[in-house]
Structures are given as structure tokens and as C-alpha cells.
Chain A
Amino acid sequence: GIQVEQSPPDLILQEGANSTLRCNFSDSVNNLQWFHQNPWGQLINLFYIPSGTKQNGRLSATTVATERYSLLYISSSQTTDSGVYFCAVSSYLQGGSEKLVFGKGTKLTVNP
């Protein structure tokens, strides 16, 4: 099946810093999403982005499908950005967009 690798596994920032999280995947995808799991365990959908670039406030994401990677940018980080960021993909080979495979996540800690 499709493999998803996220880097770095852990990231510690001072408030106000910028960061880039990376997601590499092993096959062509028809669905790619980024999620934030906050310290209370809630999973929040950040972006649906199988290709192209999107922005939402201080967050933006870019997926280069032909090169099999996606990037999540966090600018001017805040303590509330802390948590685990997951990338999830599904592959054309799986025949549909319903079976998302998750990476192991990047744990982000933003210190005040």
C-alpha cells in the first residue's frame, strides 16, 4: 500500500517563529489532507489539498503531486499551534478517495 512519511518527527519553536512540515508519499494520490491534533486530542481538518496551494490565515499548504510531496507552512507560530500535525493520503491504486492512510505525524511544541 501507499507509504506516507512525515518530517521532522518533532519540532520545538519559540513563539513567533515560522516552520515548514513535510509529507512525502510513495504513489500518485487523489486525496491529501492535513490535520492538527491539539493537546486535548481533537483532530481538526486544516486542508484538503491533493494538488496546488491553499492558505488559511497563518497556515498554508502546497502539494506537488508530480514529485510526491506536500508542505505545511506555519507562520508567526503561537502556543495554540502546539500539537501533532498529520498528513493523510489516498491513492488512485486503492480505487477511491475513501481510504486515507495517515503518516506518523509531526509533534510541534511552541514555547512562549
Chain B
Amino acid sequence: DTAVSQTPKYLVTQMGNDKSIKCEQNLGHDTMYWYKQDSKKFLKIMFSYNNKELIINETVPNRFSPKSPDKAHLNLHINSLELGDSAVYFCASSQLRGNSPLHFGNGTRLTVT
């Protein structure tokens, strides 16, 4: 009965590879997010989708491409991985304009070697 689930939990890959992280929420929320947490624990928003529509796109390299097939799913695809992409990526969801708390998944630790 996990509310926000993301897979995989760990991802180790080499520079130049392409990888995807999947996220699903069963809270009935209409908005989903991707956050990046760097080695200093700083959390920064990357993308947000509301009902499958992109509403936030921070200054993220275009090697990162989110895809939302429906409002319960938000995936993140990363092309041509670089060493600097190593971080923990968190998926989250909330109900937009509903005074709704943000709920996070457990994170995906990406290590690029």
C-alpha cells in the first residue's frame, strides 16, 4: 500500500548510458514532481506535471526528459549520463491548490561511474 513508489532504488551505470526511473502514486493526486538531492543534501525541483501537463521545468539539461502517461505515473529518462548526474532522485506527489502536503517516494540513488 505504498503511496509513492519509485524504481529502481539503486542505479549504477557508466557515463554515456541512458537510463530511466519510474514513479507511481496511488494517492489520487493530480500533480507529480521530480526532485534532485545532491551530495550536500540540497533538494531542488526539476519538473512538475499536473494531469499529464508539464507545469514546471527548471533549468535542467535537455538530456533529462520526463514523461507522464497518466496522472498516476511520472517517469524520468536520462540520456548520455554524466558523472555530475550522480545524486538521489525523488519522485513526489500532491494535490495542486488543495492545501495538500507533498508526499515523497523513497528515492533512487543514481551513481554514474
Contact = CB atoms under 8 A, between A and B. Distances in A.
Interface in A39-77: 41-45, 48, 50
Given A97-B96, A97-B99, A104-B40, 6 more contacts: A41-B88, A42-B104, A42-B107, A96-B96, A99-B48, A100-B45
B107 A98 contact: no
Contacts, number: 55
Interface in B23-69: 31, 33, 40-45, 48, 50, 55-56
Interface of B: 31, 33, 40-45, 48, 50, 55-56, 88, 90, 94, 96-97, 99-104, 106-107, 109
Contacts of B43: 86, 88, 102
A29 interface: no
Nearest to A47: B101
Contact of B41 (A33, A42, A84): A84
B2 to A, nearest CB: 11
Nearest to A84: B41
Size class of the A contact interface (CB-based, 8 Å) = 20 to 34
A48 B45 contact: no
Nearest to A48: B101
A48 B104 contact: no
Nearest to A94: B56
Contact of A33 (B48, B56, B102): B102
